[in-house]
Amino acid sequence: MYYYWLTFPPTDPNSTDFHKYIVNNQIGFEDFIDLQEAQNTLSKSYFPEINLEKFHFIGIQEFFREDLRELQHLLNWPEVKIKPSNGNTYPDYKARVRNILGDRQLIRKIATVNREDMELYQAALNLRGKRKGLSNSLQQYQVCLQASQQRLLYTEVIPQKDKAVLDTINTLHN
């Protein structure tokens, strides 16, 4: 969200006051994650008081293609060819993401201040795992996550750093 916002003009009619504040005041990434308005945005804005177990199907972004194929099969949809078209255009975005993922302390902080979103994501993973007959442990998803990222052309993300992120999340979750 942060790097997307930096490429999105604050003069756009869809720009929020918070977005304008971030861009106009040139708030840095580490300061951004400290702002309460930037924390737990999924659980607060999109899924407040929603029981995910009431959904028949939950897909996960990291497994987008696989989950879309399964949904297509369930709903008898024709096959759709998906071509990523909304990559972040912020300069050096992928390098910045690699740096963030390589900073265990920063990842720990992001996970801590976004605990509700982390719990929501874990609940969604658990439901997906249950639907597919898999274990609910995040560690069981590491191989699938890496394969999915490669299919989505995220080959710049180093698998060892993915493991470090998962280990940090598991440490915080337990």
Rounded to 10 deg, the angle between the 115-132 and 159-173 helix axes is 110
pLDDT higher than threshold 60 for residue 75: yes
Do 102 and 71 lie in a common domain? yes
**How many domains are there within the chain?**
2
Q: Which residue has the higher pLDDT, 20 or 165?
A: 20
Same domain assignment for residues 68 and 13:
no
Instruction: Check whether residue 15 and residue 66 sit in a common domain.
Output: no
Same domain for 119 and 154? yes
**Model pLDDT, residue 81:** 81
Residue 86 shares a structural domain with residue 161: yes
Higher pLDDT, 153 or 125: 125
Residues 104 and 152 both lie in one domain: yes
At residue 58, does pLDDT exceed 60?
yes
If asked whether residues 6 and 74 sit together in one domain, one would say no
Q: Are residues 93 and 146 in the same domain?
A: yes
Residues 32 and 83 in one domain: no
Q: What pTM, to 2 d.p., does this model score?
A: 0.73
Say whether both 30 and 101 belong to one domain.
Answer: no
Measure the CA–CA gap between 111 and 71, rounded to whole angstroms. Answer: 30
Residue among 130, 159, 153 nearest 64 (CA) = 153
Q: Is residue 19 part of a domain?
A: yes
Locus of tokens 């977005």: 19
Is 34 a residue whose pLDDT tops 80?
Answer: yes
Q: Do 166 and 100 share a domain, yes or no?
A: yes
pLDDT at residue 139 in the model: 47
Ramachandran angles phi, psi of 78, nearest 5°: -70, 160
What span, in angstroms and rounded, lies between the C-alpha atoms of 149 and 88? 15
- Tell me the average pLDDT across 111-117: 95
Residues of the domain holding 91: 54-173
Cα 97 to Cα 3, 49, 88, 100, 129: the distances in Å are 10, 31, 11, 5, 27
